[in-house]
Structure 1
Amino acid sequence: MEQRIGSSSQPLEGAGFDPAFIPGLTSPAAEEPEDARPEDAKSEEGEAVTETSVDETSPPAQAEDGEEAERAEAEEEAEEASDGPVFEASDRRAKVVADQKGVRLSLDEESCEFRWDEIGAVETESPRFGKRYTVTVHTPDRRWYPIEIEAPARSRFKEWDEQMDAVLDAYFEE
């Protein structure tokens, strides 16, 4: 009779395996240094092919074209975002944005983004006392992601509730 030494259970994926794992949480994009270049390609004879030198005047011209393209994209996104209702609330640390793309939560340097098909429910809560407005995003897999926004005045709670209801009515399908 064979017996195995050790546990027969498999390691858990996700949060059981990695304490920093949170579904929907995006890590900041790593920027590649400007001097980083792809490895030299090898020719058929095995010799390294070297890159040709580029004159010093062309990179700024390319950078200006890239900046213009980014501006055009930002303007297009702003036009798309203005088509329907948008909820946006923020304080010195936290920010919540809900629009046709979904719900984005940010706290300090961390952020997560949920598309509307990834959301099971969105809950808002106004405290009886105090000025912290809470928005909680619930996912179908029984996880929830709350974020608190400190309002400048308690009168903003009603306005924020109306804006969030308009966004949910427009984009969220139950």
Structure 2
Amino acid sequence: MEQRIGSSSQPLEGAGFDPAFIPGLTSPASEREEDAKAEEPEKPAGSPVVEDTAPEADEAPEAEEPAPDGPVFEASDRRARILADHRGVRLRLDDQECEFRWDEIGAVETETARFGKRYTVTVHTPDRRWYPIEIEAPSRSRFAEWDTELDKVLDAYFDEGDAQETETGAGADRKADADAE
């Protein structure tokens, strides 16, 4: 009797198994990798490898936008990181990342644990979603420093007039935090 090594079943596809799957819009990653391999021409053995590094005529070189001299807030621990600068707020936890431009943010809320050294930053969006991240501080004395640094960034880049929040909405959380200090 013959036995095959490995699975003979194909991976399942669809929204039930991949939340990012949109039929007809994108193909699964495995198919894209196979297509890329199929399009790559095979080179005969012994031929020299020459790579074309010159940009094409219709392709303009990408210029990185210069960072202004404004304030920057960054806090991180072994798993989590938050960075707030002129571009917006970026959160990272392990291998997951999300980025919010300033026009996508309704409010930014900070919270400290009563006991322990956890500093929580929550980004609220105008469509009533929130994205919290906890950072473990080296000591509780860092909380005041982080609050001051984050307030400088928010004052410089966050325009509350564009947030379209009312005093009873998520925008009031940041104002309440600022008034409590």
TM range, smaller chain? 0.5 to 0.7
Distance in 2, matches of 1:18 and 1:106, equals 24
1:58 is aligned to 2:50: yes
Equivalences, count: 128
Q: Which residue of 2 aligns with 1:36?
A: 37
- Report the residue type matching 1:142 in the other structure: R
Distance 1:87 1:20, change over 3 A: farther
Alignment of structure 1 residues 139-154 onto 2, 5 Å: 139-154=125-140
Structure 1: state its 5+ residue gaps.
Answer: 1-16, 22-29, 40-50, 67-72
Query: TM-score, normalised on structure 1?
Result: 0.61
Superimposed CA distance per residue, residues 59-95 of structure 1 (whole angstroms, 9 cap, x where no aligned partner) = 3x73xx89xxxxxx79x55xx3352111111111111
1:90 is aligned to 2:76: yes
* Contact persistence 2:70–2:156 (CA under 8 A): yes
Superimposed CA distance per residue, residues 105-153 of structure 1 (whole angstroms, 9 cap, x where no aligned partner) = 1111111111111100000112232100000000111111100000111
Structure 2: state its 5+ residue gaps.
Answer: 1-15, 21-28, 56-61, 161-181
Instruction: Please point out which of 121, 129, 132 is paired with 2:118.
Output: 132
Distance 1:18 1:139, change over 3 A: farther
SS at match of 1:124: strand
Q: Considering only aligned residues, what root-mean-square deviation do their CA atoms show, in Å? A: 3.5
Query: TM-score, normalised on structure 2?
Result: 0.58
Instruction: Please point out which of 119, 141, 151 is paired with 1:165.
Output: 151
Q: Percent identity?
A: 65
